[in-house]
Structure 1
Amino acid sequence: MQGKPRGFDKAIQLIERGVDIPNPWSIDIGDDVDVDRISADGVTIHPGCRIHGASTVISAGVQLGEEAPVTLQDCRLGPDVRLKGGYFSRSVFLEAASMALGAHVREGTLLEEQAGGAHTVGLKQTILFPFVTLGSLINFCDVLMAGGTSRRHHSEVGSSYIHFNFTPDGNKTTASLFGDVPRGVMLDQPPIFLGGQGGTVGPVQVGFGTVVGAGSILRDDVREDGLLVLTPPTDGIRRPNTPRRYKRLAPLLEKNIGYVANLLALEAWYRGVRRPFFAAQEFGELVLEGALEMLESAREERTKRLAALITTIAPDTEGRRQLVEHRAELLEACTPDRIPAPLLIVPEALAAPLATAAVAGTPYIAAVQALDTAAKEAGTGWLQAIIDDTCTRAAGPVPDMGLFETA
């Protein structure tokens, strides 16, 4: 007679506590999973799911495997998350985030409240702010996307969209910013729309309210807000290929440093603003811990890729020589411990109303959207100061690269 499947006893423990597991014989729960980090309040684990990893957290109301089996490895799920089918590893999903059938979500991914995707979406090192919605058949790795004010008014990526994040040279200094952190966290910016059957060749920076028409391949920045962009077909090219030319090296460095600086600002926001709202949730501190780990993972990935790029650069100009010789100093400037302590203090105009809201039990999104103009301007200015300081310090060791001179 066939023995009990691995994790059967844990499945029974969960059922006895109130978790809905219709078929415990079909569930695979790893020995490293701590059942005390799985809520008994409204959680459903459908047949065929596999749950592994000592870091795994499953909060109240989570639904796993509604459309197909789910494999969950070291993920932290906030309240009411719905992962309907697919593979999810070393990622964090905040309240009411969701992914549909066929998802493939890997390390460094953070989906904030009510963000999600339809079927067959691939994510890695992806950060989606609240409400951001992805269509179907999408590969959207190495990006941060913000924009929108609600589930009805959200940034969206159309079906069959690709973020091209890997060059023929094996270079991945290609992370793109759709929106930005200082304005995006205020949840009051117009949404960004990337039309289906299109793509972006990273790295680019795109302003809020941008609409990129269906079928367009975005290769350049759209920094001005509120533009409609339709890209023409490129002219045919046939010429000798020179690997690692990096003709536009300074803008490439600026975008990578700027991306990391936005991550540092977002980490400051989580530590200084979001913490009390997590504390109000069951397992909230564990989910917050996971979110901070995702931001650290994203930062480490970007600095690793930037370091790898610099090692391939020939020091044939004074600026490039400085870059090669002072790589360590530039990268060190992109770490959180180099941010001056005064810059990490949340402005009182922002801190006071949010603290009052947290004590009153106001949910995070409602609390942020209730801020007055003065509080939002103070918060945006604070986060932008962290970004500007990081960029200035990173540019210091390589003055002849001319970084951020027009910023």
Structure 2
Amino acid sequence: MKLKKILAGLMAAVIAVGSFMVSTASAYWNQDTIDSICKKTNAPVWKNGETKTLTLVEPDIKNTGWYYSIPVSSNGTVEVNATTFDPAFVCIALVNADIYTDKTYENRYLSDSEGVTTNSTFGKAYDYGCVFGEKNGKKEVIQYEVRVCGGRDGDGTDADSYSGMVSFDVKKNNNYMLAVFSEGDSKLENRKVTLSVTYPSSSDKSSNDISELSINKITSKSYTGKAIKPSITIKDGNKKLVSGTDYTVTYKNNTKPGKATVTITGKGNYTGTKTVTFNIVPKKVRVSAKTSDTDAVLSWKKSTGAAGYEIYYSVGGGKLRKLTTVKGTKYSAAMTAAGTYKFKVRPYVRINGKKVYGQWSNTVSCK
């Protein structure tokens, strides 16, 4: 529905344990209120789909309200449904604590040009507004608010109770707080509102953004001399996406040993991109060995892209252990102990400064 522009409501808040107190001192939420809420920790979580009945107490023209953490993990909307609504003036607000800074905030009426959305089905919702802040140099909404004339006629008398819904646009992985509190005169003490709240969560089965979907991990691949294009499996919940229909795949640096890159781009009903990597390791070598006096002379052919080779050995059936690391393709190992010596070799390549190994060679024996 069209966003309504009318005079701002009168509010200011101070955090209290388990609730916050709001006086009628200034329009919308003042700086101290935002500071208090955004610094508050360990707020109880409102579980997705859960229904709660809240008592809105207003002693001495001060309003007691409630706040809950809303753990949003994907883009979408938070919906607050009032299933039972006693006559009262009620404010429903959603605060994004992740946008909090120490800067002064800007109160603003919502409009279509703001690029933010709040919708309400309350017949007597009479005020929309938001508070803007900055995150990484970009102006974003800290707090949405809708004020509801919940069953109060224009002459101040109680009207019939009724229900309604308000929804707010939200972004994934942001720390949101839902606040519900009464505003009005002391005659509205102990009024109740029963609310259910739904929001995007990790349990949601579907997303059209490729970057948010499950993609299989690609194990290391051995050098073949040709471009390596491992298969990709992408799932949207239990649905397996189809290459060419739901996404396309491109590869980069996927021939020589090193780090290869796979870029997955959404197609059809899917959008966005995701990049994954995998390692290409040198091909394993085949080792030959011969005895020269008391030495075992090992040799093998060069493995393309290998930065070096590690040689391991054992004696008389003992534990395999590292002998040395070499750059070349030949090595003479002195056999000073009695028993049969066994040797094997593996190539390696350096990726981001770390050794990544190819497969072990065959095992050779010398006496």
TM-score (normalised: structure 2): 0.20
Structure 1 or 2: more strand by fraction? 2
Of structures 1 and 2, the larger Rg is shown by 2
Q: TM-score, normalised by structure 1?
A: 0.18
